[in-house]
Structure 1
């Protein structure tokens, strides 16, 4: 009985560590700042030279 409880405690501890790691191990600088117009920030801004001209 004690061995089952010890194994359950170990599994619970592993679950808590995995959840903690995924919650708090993010980007070093945090999330990128929000835009002033309320939109979602893009990953990389587009350059004018990359756009096709007619």
Structure 2
């Protein structure tokens, strides 16, 4: 019984170590600052929208 509890404790410690490693071992300065909003694109004249022709009928 004690061996099973020891094994479960070891598995829990290993799980916590893996989670800790993946969460906190990346960037040295912490998280990156939020990205700046991109500059709006230069204004261009609107593009006219054309309607596509209807599909050709299928003859069997």
Larger Rg: 2
Higher helix share: 1
Q: Gaps (5+ residues) in structure 1? A: 40-54
Q: Gaps (5+ residues) in structure 2? A: 39-60
Q: Please report the TM-score for the alignment, with normalisation by the length of structure 2.
A: 0.51
Deviation beyond 4 Å, 4+ runs, structure 1: none
Structure-2 residue corresponding to 1:26: 26
Q: C-alpha root-mean-square deviation of aligned residues, in Å? A: 1.7
Q: Please report the TM-score for the alignment, with normalisation by the length of structure 1.
A: 0.55
Report which structure shows greater RCO (CA 8 Å, sep ≥6): 1
Q: How many residues align?
A: 38
